[in-house]
Amino acid sequence: MTAPQEVSVGEDDRVRLAPGVMLRQDRVRNHWQLLGPERVLVLDDIALEVVRATTGQPVTVREAIDALAAQFDAPRAEIAADVREVLADMIAKGFLTR
Amino acid sequence: MTAHCSTGTTLEPPLAILAELTHRCPLRCAYCSNPLQLDPASRELDTATWCRVLDEAAEMGVIQVHFSGGEPTARKDLETLVAHATQAGLYVNLITSAVLLDRTRLKRLRDAGLQHVQVGFQDTVADKAERISGFPGGHPKKLEVARDVTDLGLALTVNAIVQRHNIDRVDDFIDMALDLGAGRIEIANVQYYGWALKNRGALMPTHEQLIRMDERVRARLPELKGRLVVDYVVPDYYGKRPKACMGGWGSKFLNINPSGAVLPCHAAETIPGLTFDRVTERPLADIWANSAAFQRYRGTDWMPARCRSCDQKEVDWGGCRCQALALTGNADNADPVCELSEHHGLLAGITAADGGTAEVPLTYRSFSL
Ligand code: SF4
Ligand code: SF4
């Protein structure tokens, strides 16, 4: 399922897992995944950190980006671009909601 | 677990299992894909056996379980099974007609770990829906339960079962899903197995209807992005290439019927000469890896010559075995939906004979024919 990214995410937005979506560690396949109705999304390291930072506690996207930039000691602009891209894709696919 | 399938690649565990808890159901849908020979309640697996099977499934790497039927809420132990599956680490889906549910029970199921409820809708108009389901009062009840589902914070899928009499209302189905707060709609054209096959001449739409539906759904997709996931199963009777049924036989899914037989797909029992192992006789992982029924059409070795030399063979896996059987009389043939199949001409005959818009008497699902 490749969704064209027509969804755009602003830094004031807050996101959360959509109803029926859960974050799960798959010990047999050795990765993390988002599970939803009839769907599995395998998370790479970046996507996992984004999901944790944005949905783990009630924060704005801006606050999550700040935290990730500090955590990974990386340029904020780079992190912001990654985060917004990952979030837009997950919203378009119905795993996250605003 | 390491096992090998006939093509020599490592066999992955199934992603999901369909647990058909019972064949009992208060509805009598004319499109029901349950077998004509329904398992009676006396043959159903008991709670302890299901719990063991759920543990085995989680252990082997299954990610999701779909409690289905029949009507799974007809089982009084559903809460226990949902809780057990959740504790085992499985994501729990409920596939239901909703007519036996109420808010109190839904709450209990949610608290037991249920994540997602899929409610089947026969139409968007009550009397038309109830003509198909043979269950008066069903439609408003479904709407009420569906609202409770979203209200309780569970994920809702509207399963729109599409046939000649409702196909022109596909827009209404989408609007109904949005109105109910569903996160997902499955637009499922009737597949002609089981009871549906008996009613093909009363249900199959025309090619023109399908083309119109397709246009309408596609026109809505951009607006629905990020609001409603649309899973859309285009019927292949009018197509040129088959679909990879079940993502390939014995490759991603397995089905356990009410009496514990493990099937590669829910219609597999229609195929003569296949024998199915039972969860009461063999561990699930062993059945998945080694059961004769799974080995029979797994991979590409079983294929007719035309498929074996075709570059699509690991894309569509030769299509649907049950459809090959139903239409050509032999499950070993390529799915005749494939235009390269020597049987492809059969489809034109069937759609000409059975496709239509007329109202034809239905044969309702029942325990005794
Ligand atoms: S299709 Fe209808 S009759 Fe068959 S199990 Fe589902 S709700 Fe019951
Ligand atoms: S010949 Fe067989 S493998 Fe090739 S497209 Fe047709 S069904 Fe699929």
ipTM of the modeled complex: 0.87
The domains of chain A, with CATH numbers, are 16-97 (1.10.10.1150)
Residues of B in contact with A39 (CB under 8 A): 229
Partner-chain contact B91 A24, CB within 8 Å: yes
Which residue of B64, B157, B183 is in closest CB contact with A35?
B64
* Residue matched to tokens 């899928």: B157
Distance CA B332, CA B145 (A): 43
Per-residue pLDDT, B280:
97
How confident is the prediction along chain B (369 residues), in pLDDT tens digits per residue?
Answer: 344 444 446 899 999 999 999 999 999 988 888 888 888 899 999 999 999 999 999 999 999 999 999 999 999 999 999 999 999 999 999 999 999 999 999 999 999 999 999 999 999 999 999 988 988 999 999 999 999 999 999 999 999 999 999 999 999 999 999 999 999 999 998 888 788 888 888 889 998 999 999 999 999 999 998 899 999 877 777 888 898 888 899 999 999 999 999 999 988 988 888 999 999 999 999 999 999 999 999 999 999 999 999 999 999 999 989 889 888 999 999 999 999 999 998 888 888 888 888 888 888 888 654
CA A6 to chain centre: 16
* Residue matched to tokens 């602003």: A10
Per-residue pLDDT, B353:
80
- Give long-range contacts, CB 8 A cutoff, 24+ apart: A44-50: A46/A82, A46/A86, A47/A86, A47/A90, A50/A82, A50/A83, A50/A86, A50/A87
**For chain B, how many residues are written?**
369
Q: Kindly list the averaged pLDDT for each block of 10 residues, start to end, along chain A of length 98.
A: 65 95 94 95 96 93 96 94 94 92
Per DSSP bridges, beta strands B184-189 and B155-162 are parallel
Residues of A in contact with B96 (CB under 8 A): none
Per-residue pLDDT, B355:
86
Q: Are the beta carbons of A11 and A87 closer than 8 angstroms?
A: no
Per-residue pLDDT, B365:
83
Per-residue pLDDT, B294:
95
* Residue matched to tokens 């399908």: B210
Distance CA B308, CA B93 (A): 36
B152 lies within 8 A of chain A by CB? no
Give the torsion through C-alpha atoms of B48, B50, B56, B58, to 10 deg.
-120
The ligand 1 site (C-beta within 6 Å) comprises B 25, 27-29, 32, 34, 69-71, 97, 120, 365
The pTM of this model reads: 0.91
Which residue of A6, A26, A39 is in closest CB contact with B225?
A6
Which H or E run contains B159? strand B155-162
Which residue of B61, B118, B225 is in closest CB contact with A28?
B61
Partner-chain contact A28 B64, CB within 8 Å: no
| Number of other residues whose CB lies within 10 A of the CB of residue A83 | 24
**For chain A, how many residues are written?**
98
Min Cα separation A36/chain B (Å): 8
B8 lies within 8 A of chain A by CB? no
Per-residue pLDDT, B9:
61
Partner-chain contact A92 B226, CB within 8 Å: yes
